[in-house]
Chain A
Amino acid sequence: MTDLFSKFDDIIEMRRALLATGVEDPFNLVMERVLSPTVAVCNGRETILLGTYNYMGMTFDPDVIDAGKEALDLFGSGTTGSRVLNGTYIGHREVEDALKEFYAMEHAMVFSTGYQANLGIISTIAGKGDYIVLDIDSHASIWDGCKMGDAEVVPFRHNDMEAMEKRLKRIPEGAGKLVILEGVYSMLGDIAPLKEMIGIAKAHGAMVLVDEAHSMGFIGPNGRGVAEDQGVLDQVDFVIGTFSKSVGTVGGFCVSNHPKFEVMRLVCRPYVFTASLPPSVVATAATSIRKLMHAGNKRAHLWENSRTLHAGVKALGFTLGTDEPQSAIISVIMPDLERGAAMWEALLHEGLYVNLARPPATPANMTLLRCSLCAEHTEEQVERIIGMFERAGKAAGII
């Protein structure tokens, strides 16, 4: 008998070798208590959270919590059904209305996760004979959406406009074209030159889908994302987003002005063949989205935090993913996985949690310590974080 698991032997060995060095398991951390959007108790230690996507700190917002509790009382713990059967409650409509208002778009469709939003929309709209042209550093959910559909998939080098245009030019006459971009690429925290890229895509007759998961709530004049910030949101055919980052709960969505968009509810399998979000989740999401429309001060503080941390860690001598802070993600590049894991552990012992990102999730096989800031991090916390980086970096022999 061939063991179907033998294909995972390399990964099992890599993990064994890493843990054999005595390092704490970076992919098995348990938070015993969560005290606020920025502090949790891990292994009995009070820990500052710098590796969540809780950008706007909405998870403990009193209005959001109240909305969730009320929905639990009024509508129960779950819908036990698909959106197209018994799974659409008034709350699902309300969160879609909140999204339409937030993005000033005609249509909004809510999925059970952000992953499913990409999986569903991409695999459904790009079919046999169509072409998908996408950035090589696209998120796994985008790649999986491509793989699930029947379109021809054509990647180009990260943020490379010329490479994208060459590929668009070579697509046979008459074929459907979908260009897929992200506002913020979450591994290095860099943004895309959407204005130029979307201009090129449109000049070649392509429809454009932009994943704005890591920009919602704090990039752009109304927090609609990088496309809004660069003045090209009106040229984006489909915006994909999530509730699991700035919104502070779980779920995914697509907003669009396409006149036929509503047909997606009938033909998109990852929307149809799964249970809808629980009433409490859509209630917290709707409340949070409406509050994010008026979160100018929080947004400004988040950007201050991002600039302070970027400058502080850079000054210590670390190599960062971007020369300037472009988002709420500050990515610190580690020399290799072993020293990255050692540094990660040293930070944890200091009382700081960051994300350790390693291949294959990372571009160019890099090992990264990804720091994502929250609007609720205080100035004092950010200063403490920089001190922790200094001590841990010296202990791990990186600076």
Chain B
Amino acid sequence: MDRTEVDTTIRTLLEPFNKKGVAISDGTSFTDDLEFDSLTVMDFVAAIEDEFDIIISMNQQAEIENYGQLVDAVVKLRG
């Protein structure tokens, strides 16, 4: 799966959590733009983890601030 495919899949997974319909770009911030609280983060991360069969630990999550970084992290974790 290349970056574009990962991006497409994550975009679909993000939809139910994007309550305000914020336009998503690589620079979209999860806290500032999407206003995710800790429970939303947990559910969203769980959805991604289940889809790609990976673990994104909280330590790794701390390094991920925006959408682009998330896609990159998932690509990397998929190996």
A residues at B contact (CB < 8 Å): 131, 136, 146, 152-157, 163, 166-167, 170-171, 360, 363-365
Q: Which residues of A contact B59 (CB under 8 A)?
A: 152-153
A-B pairs with beta carbons under 8 Å apart, 20 shown: A131-B55, A136-B38, A136-B39, A136-B42, A152-B55, A152-B57, A152-B58, A152-B60, A155-B42, A157-B42, A163-B46, A167-B49, A167-B55, A170-B49, A170-B55, A171-B55, A360-B38, A363-B39, A364-B39, A365-B37
- Return A235 CB to nearest CB of chain B, in Å: 24
User: How many angstroms from the CA of A382 to the CA of B56 in the assembled complex?
Assistant: 47
Which secondary structure dominates where chain B touches chain A?
A: helix
Chain B 39-79: CB-based contact to A (< 8 A → 1; otherwise 0) = 10011001001100111011110000000000000000000
Which secondary structure dominates where chain A touches chain B?
A: mixed
Q: Which residue of B lies closest to A154 (CB)?
A: B57
A170–B57 touching, CB < 8 Å? no
Q: Which residues of B contact A136 (CB under 8 A)?
A: 38-39, 42
B42–A170 touching, CB < 8 Å? no
A166–B58 touching, CB < 8 Å? no
Q: Which residues of A contact B57 (CB under 8 A)?
A: 131, 152-154
Q: Which of B37, B46, B50, B54 has the most CB of A within 10 A?
A: B46
Q: Which residue of B lies closest to A167 (CB)?
A: B55
Q: Which residue of A lies closest to B50 (CB)?
A: A166
- Return B54 CB to nearest CB of chain A, in Å: 7
Q: Which residues of B contact A131 (CB under 8 A)?
A: 55, 57
User: How many angstroms from the CA of A179 to the CA of B54 in the assembled complex?
Assistant: 18
State the 8 A-B residue pairs at the shortest beta-carbon distance, nearest first: A152-B57, A153-B58, A170-B55, A154-B57, A152-B59, A136-B42, A153-B57, A154-B55
Q: Which residues of B contact A155 (CB under 8 A)?
A: 42, 58
Residues B1-57 near A (CB distance < 8 A): 37-39, 42-43, 46, 49-50, 53-55, 57
- Return A26 CB to nearest CB of chain B, in Å: 23
Q: Which residues of B contact A146 (CB under 8 A)?
A: 58
Q: Which of B38, B43, B57 has the most CB of A within 10 A?
A: B57
Q: Which residue of A lies closest to B52 (CB)?
A: A170
B54–A170 touching, CB < 8 Å? yes
